[in-house]
Structure 1
Amino acid sequence: MVERVEGGGFIRVSYPFFHLASVRSHCQRTSTNADSLLPIPTTHNVDGIQDSLREDLEFETKPNLSDKTPIKTIYTEFGGIVDCINIYQQPVFDHPLLKNHRFQIKPTFENLTEKTLVNNSQIGSMFDLDNEECPQGTVPIQRMKYNFSQEKLLDDILIKDIPGVHVAEAFVPQNHSPFYQVNGICSLYNPKVEKGQISMSHIWVENGPVESSNRITMGWHVHPSMYGDARTHFYTSWTSDNFKKTGCYNTACRGFVQVDRKNFPGGYFPDTSTYGGATYEAYMAITQDLKTKNWWISAGKVNIGYYPAALFSNLGSASIVGWGGRTKANVGGRSPPMGSGHFPDGNRTHESYFRSPKIQGASLIVYTPESFMTKHFSDNTKCYDVGYHDKYYGEVQKESVVHFGGPGGNCGI
């Protein structure tokens, strides 16, 4: 769904905003009707909430469909392969920490922020009704095009201090914690990224010391090495030890529990913004379900899935939340553009941003942080910049914004 805002050239993406645009599909029928809800295995019968990690924290990073028979396989128009797997037999449930996990079909909270935005909008259809989705009782699991080694899965752009990574981010620090949600309406761009480079826009929650940080991120990125293309893809990631031995993107390893039948980590955004022209946006949120303690990933009006509480050693709440962008280049090479590829200048048709950024703190009220609560940081202001304004100075609307980005170039190590 989209909303076109007259005069500003904005297109607000609500739901759904990425999809299975299929060329063909193959169905494999089992003894269970694929169109009916499949039974819950008796092994997943109690909440998987633990206070600490077990010794068997380290898990497989091998291809995660080797022992799962898809009920349906979808071949997308751009060469991707998506398997529709029994919702209760997802590879994630093979994780040692999730053997006794109770599957949560939907969160106990309501997405009141997005509901307000949609109710005040005139919504039309972004996609036709013929797009593919997985049958009832199954969920989409994207096949990885490349066999990433564990090193490539974990040692990446999400670790700030490795060579070639540059950041332009705003965050609310620990002295205002605890936090249970971070959200914002993100502009979507497709910066030019070459082989060996990455450019991303994201929100995140984290807790713990840097060397063993527990962290969840979500947003969009252009990552040719992962997808084999230069499109803008929706992504999410997690770690319980600052990516030393745990964590990955999307469903490349066992961690993320998929719930929605149509939208999934790794899906691409078919439309992105043009500098000075139409701007596409997507609402994104990471929210802890205060009853189950699971962390939900929401985009548009869709609760896509969640990270079970049992995966984490120290994420009963977040001590830091934030918004912004990152890039990665080969060491000694040129860094790619971030966001729109231009420095923020107060014009939303020019810059990459998260508007209406909000957090949920100890009061459990979702609110916009004031400027004095936030900090922002760019490690190379000649390449990228970032700012936070609780009253947006560039336009008539008095709306908070995190804006960031830049052209990249020779940005150093």
Structure 2
Amino acid sequence: MINTLIFVLCLVIGGASPTVHCIQDTLKGDKKLEEQLKLVDKSPIKTIHTKYGDIVDCIDINKQSAFDHPLLKDHELQREPSFQKPTEKSSTNNLPNRSIFGHDGNQCSKGTVPIRRTKIEDLIRQQSLLNSSIFVQGIPGVHLAEIALSSKYGPFYGVKGRNSVYKPFVTKGQISLSHLWVQNGPVETNDKISLGWHVCPELYGDYESHLYASWTRDNYHKTGCYNLVCPGFVQTHDAIYLGEPFTIVSSYGGPTFDFLTSITRDPLTKNWWLRVKNHYIGYYPAELFSNMTTANKVGWGGRTVTPHGTLSPPMGSGHFSVLDFNHASYFRLIAYRNTSKKSYGPKHYQLEKYVDKPDCYNLFYYDNLRENLQNSIFYGGPGGNCGD
């Protein structure tokens, strides 16, 4: 059955005439895909079918796939961050905090966590994502509009910002995303965590915006993945899950919807916690990384990727950014955490700006807007012929 499905998808992906190479890959990939599927899919205690098409399995929190990673064999589960303040411990029944996600308040029972079910066709589609990472600069077809704090102002212990959500139009093989990140080490071999939203049909089989995270310990050469495609991320929240679709997105001209995102290192365990809206949803254990007890760079912005020879997709709202929250994709209230463990908004002189194709995308940073905006980034663009 799996061989047949892989072969059919080879036809869809590769065109009307299957190649010998594709047939060989089908036979070789069968066993590997079956093994990968066993790693990411566990026996559920409860299954939730969302009205947006996801199948979500409620898995015993102690038996999730993260603990299949060889580096996490002796890992001790951390149920909540040690630095969480009492005011941040919002109720899991606080539905308005989760209204932009697709589960309508249906959540897993105590002691279990939601994991988006991975199907064999998901794994087959995802093979095309493994050979070229959107997070590595210099790969043809990858473009960015980002800012990052210079490493000379580090080390850093966290990054945050309120990220506007859009649904830019992409075609097959393309990705458009918005994210913040932490990283450490030389570019060629760095440890990195990214958190935000993206439109990525190869990952989900649709053209919706999804919550996502990714990690690597060697700049995506041999390690790391999106969401739970490979073991690594430890889920702790009972409702918000990686890969979840957004049910509300911003419209150009308004209304605009944004949500809080942050990545923060726990001072006791050294684990890196992800926060989405008012909830810490889980963490990447310290054992996963080769050298990320701190971060030497943090940043914010957008990226796109497109197959060679095709037009690049839009980024953000799909329009060049201007100082207007109803027309530009943005991060507002951005801040970083340094050795003092306090959060600060970056200053212009601390930042490095990366816009590789100004005819396709742009970015502006403002560090002195009104109180509810403060440090803000506006970025994005229509894409198009970017010279690939």
2:37 aligned residue: 63
Name segments (4+ residues, structure 1) moved above 6 Å. Answer: 395-398
1:365 aligned residue: 342
CA gap of 1:373–1:64, structure 2 versus 1, over 3 A, is farther
1:78 aligned residue: 52
Higher alpha-carbon deviation: 82-91 or 318-327: 82-91
CA distance in 2, matches of 1:67, 1:197: 26
2:83 aligned residue: 109
Indicate conservation of the 8 Å contact 1:154/1:246, yes or no: no
Indicate conservation of the 8 Å contact 1:163/1:331, yes or no: yes
- When you count helix as a share of all residues, which structure comes out higher? 2
Aligned AA for 1:78? Y
**What SS does the corresponding residue of 1:88 show, helix, strand or coil?**
coil
1:350 aligned residue: 327
Structure 2, gaps ≥5 residues long: 1-33
CA distance in 2, matches of 1:89, 1:135: 15
Within the candidate set 192, 196, 205, 1:219 is matched to 196
Within the candidate set 140, 147, 156, 2:123 is matched to 147
Aligned AA for 1:342? H
CA distance in 2, matches of 1:137, 1:66: 19
CA gap of 1:282–1:293, structure 2 versus 1, over 3 A, is same
Cα-to-partner distance string for 1:198-225 (whole Å, 9 max, x where unaligned): 0000000001011101000000000111
1:260 aligned residue: 237
TM-score of the superposed pair, with normalisation by structure 2: 0.84
Aligned AA for 2:63? Q
1:386 aligned residue: 363
CA gap of 1:108–1:348, structure 2 versus 1, over 3 A, is same
1:412 aligned residue: 387
CA gap of 1:66–1:211, structure 2 versus 1, over 3 A, is closer
1:173 is the counterpart of 2:147: no
1:133 aligned residue: 107
Indicate conservation of the 8 Å contact 1:74/1:83, yes or no: yes
CA distance in 2, matches of 1:408, 1:263: 31
How many angstroms does 1:110 deviate by? 2.4
1:399 aligned residue: 374
Indicate conservation of the 8 Å contact 1:179/1:321, yes or no: yes
**What SS does the corresponding residue of 1:225 show, helix, strand or coil?**
helix
1:285 is the counterpart of 2:271: no
2:68 aligned residue: 94
1:317 aligned residue: 294
Aligned length: 346
CA distance in 2, matches of 1:300, 1:281: 9
TM-score of the superposed pair, with normalisation by structure 1: 0.79
Cα-to-partner distance string for 1:33-92 (whole Å, 9 max, x where unaligned): xxxxxxxxxxxxxxxxxxxxxxxxxxx981245773111122222322211111000111
Indicate conservation of the 8 Å contact 1:344/1:403, yes or no: yes
Aligned AA for 1:315? M
Indicate conservation of the 8 Å contact 1:235/1:265, yes or no: yes
**What SS does the corresponding residue of 1:383 show, helix, strand or coil?**
coil
CA gap of 1:311–1:66, structure 2 versus 1, over 3 A, is closer
**What SS does the corresponding residue of 2:177 show, helix, strand or coil?**
strand
Structure 1, gaps ≥5 residues long: 1-59
CA gap of 1:399–1:65, structure 2 versus 1, over 3 A, is same
Kindly report the root-mean-square deviation, in angstroms, between the aligned alpha carbons of the 2 structures. 2.4
How many angstroms does 1:129 deviate by? 10
Indicate conservation of the 8 Å contact 1:207/1:315, yes or no: yes
CA distance in 2, matches of 1:229, 1:97: 33
CA distance in 2, matches of 1:283, 1:365: 17
Cα-to-partner distance string for 1:347-400 (whole Å, 9 max, x where unaligned): 1100011001100011211111111111211000000001221123xx797721
CA distance in 1, matches of 2:299, 2:123: 31
1:228 is the counterpart of 2:205: yes
